[in-house]
Amino acid sequence: MKEIGTYVRLMRVRHWLKNLFVFAPLIFSASLFRVDMMLNSLLIFIAFCFASSGVYIFNDINDLESDRHHWRKKNRPISSGAVSVKEATVVAIVCFILAFVIVLLLPLLAGLFLLIYVLENVFYTLRGKEMVVIDAFCISAGFVIRVIAGSYAIGVNPTSWILVTTFFLALFMGFGKRRNELLLFKENSDNHRKVLKLYDFRFLDYMMVSTASISVISYTLYCLDPSVISKFSTDKLVYTVPFVTYGVFRYMLLLFKDGEGDPTEVVTRDTGIAVTTVLWFLSVVMIIYLPMWF
């Protein structure tokens, strides 16, 4: 019998961090301490965890040969032979079934966007990842869909500012990931991902700078929006902008200086970004839920 750790790696449990985006609507709707909404957010989070694991396994099966040429991905359970394709397929199917059983407990639109997430990732795996720029857009769309599903799970409409900020922030990280891959493979990029041949460092640097700038600006405009100030009864949310700005700049520094590129790896391994994320979260919660203190 295989070790549990093998299946944990197969399902990429560490990447479940990305699904925390479903909680953004709960926090910014000032409903964090409503038990019913918190429960629904938790359910959509778990559903996305299973769905994303199913997607990752599907992607690994599809990329089996190219992953064997990757210095790190060749050690993944499927590409290394630790888990057979048949076993992985069964695990993926179970993950998808669990995900869609869970969303039966949630509003219909939440389940619909979970389905859209799965279909969008199937497209990404089969076609989108080899289409220049579209590949980064697909990565970004996955995060936006998480936010939308998180909104409908608790019965609120997603705000335009949150969607715009999420889109450009995820696009920024997507281009960063491509830059990291291009740096690692250079002339041998064809052996891993053909789309890398269509990118160059100058273009990716421009894209990262522009999307990073838009991300910070859109978040700042959200904090300064009169309707937001009225909704939360405070204009102090703008004080959280430095945390977002530092996090974005820190990510760029790690990418340009050390070659880091995967957002999950950066967040879990870099103390600076991890601490900044926690401080941002705490400051947002305190400002929104305890405005009389400010």
Check whether residue 283 and residue 209 sit in a common domain: yes
Q: How confident is the model at residue 291 (pLDDT cuts 50, 70, 90)?
A: confident
> What is the per-residue pLDDT for 194?
76
Check whether residue 118 and residue 174 sit in a common domain: no
Check whether residue 224 and residue 249 sit in a common domain: yes
Unique residue bearing structure tokens 């599809």: 62
Check whether residue 10 and residue 139 sit in a common domain: yes
Domain end point (choices 156, 172, 188): 156
Check whether residue 76 and residue 134 sit in a common domain: yes
Check whether residue 60 and residue 126 sit in a common domain: yes
> What is the per-residue pLDDT for 260?
61
Domain end point (choices 140, 156, 172): 156
Check whether residue 143 and residue 163 sit in a common domain: no
Q: How confident is the model at residue 170 (pLDDT cuts 50, 70, 90)?
A: very high
pLDDT at 2 over 80: no
Check whether residue 121 and residue 171 sit in a common domain: no
Check whether residue 140 and residue 225 sit in a common domain: no
Domain end point (choices 117, 139, 156): 156
Range of the domain at 72: 1-156
Tokens representing residue 85 in the block? 């394709």
Tens-place pLDDT, residues 108-157: 999 999 999 999 999 999 999 999 999 999 999 999 999 999 999 999 99
Please state, in angstroms and rounded to a whole number, the distance separating the CA atoms of residues 262 and 258.
Answer: 12
Q: Can you give the CATH number for the domain in which 136 is found?
A: 1.10.357.140
Count: domains in the chain = 2
Tens-place pLDDT, residues 176-197: 888 888 887 665 555 566 788 8
> What is the per-residue pLDDT for 64?
83
Tens-place pLDDT, residues 61-90: 998 877 777 667 778 888 888 889 999 999
Check whether residue 196 and residue 282 sit in a common domain: yes
Check whether residue 132 and residue 233 sit in a common domain: no
Check whether residue 118 and residue 208 sit in a common domain: no
Q: What is the pTM of this model?
A: 0.92
Buried-exposed string 123-160: b where 16+ CB fall within 10 A, e elsewhere = ebbeebbeeebbbbbbbbbbbbbbbbbbbbbbbbebbe
